[in-house]
Every structure is written in structure tokens, then in C-alpha cells.
Amino acid sequence: MNAKASAQFGRVFSASAVVARDNHSGADDNAAVPKNTADVALTARLERIKHLTDELARVQGESEAARELADRIGREVEAARAAVRTNRT
């Protein structure tokens, strides 16, 4: 995995951890269940990011495929960030 892909990969997990922490109060397992349309959309984006990171792990040796996946992950992370910002206001 090249440096750019590795950096993208790290940012994905950081963003996922923040969203997971913010969405889960620790009271019970239902606390992380999305409550509104914006939460559902964000959850869908995070699932896509997880799927893409799994794919990236599988194609590590194929640099062109890894670059494309890292770019797609970056776009999804940016969209998730925008959704979080929009959801906060």
C-alpha cells in the first residue's frame, strides 16, 4: 500500500470511529440505530466506506486498483464529513 492509500485508509478509520462514538451513547445497542433520514444516509455512507476499505485490503498488490479505491474512499469520507456537518446544524 503506498503512502497516499495508507493515509486515506487511516483517515477513514478515524472518521468512522468519531461517527460511531457520536452515534452510540453506551446505554444500549439500540442507541446506535439511526433515528432520521440524515442518520440513515450517513450510516449507508459508512457501510460503503467499510466495503471499500475491505476491497482495498484485498487488492494491496495492484497499485492502480488500490489508487482507485483510495480515491473512492476519499470521496466517500468527504461526503460523510459533509453529512455530519449538515446534520449538526
Any domain includes 37: no
User: By mean pLDDT, which of 6-15, 28-37, 66-75 is the weakest?
Assistant: 6-15
User: ∠ CA 48-52-58 to the nearest 5 degrees?
Assistant: 150
- Identify the CA nearest to 84 among candidates 7, 14, 29, 8: 14
- Domains held by the chain: number: 1
* Structural domain of 78: 3-22+42-88
The residue with cell 451513547 is 25
pLDDT at 9: 56
Any domain includes 35: no
Any domain includes 31: no
State how far the Cα of 4 lies from the Cα of 73, in Å rounded to an integer. 12
pLDDT in tens, 64-78: 999 999 999 999 999
Beta strands in the chain (DSSP E): none
Any domain includes 36: no
First to last CA, the chain: 37
Model confidence, pTM: 0.57
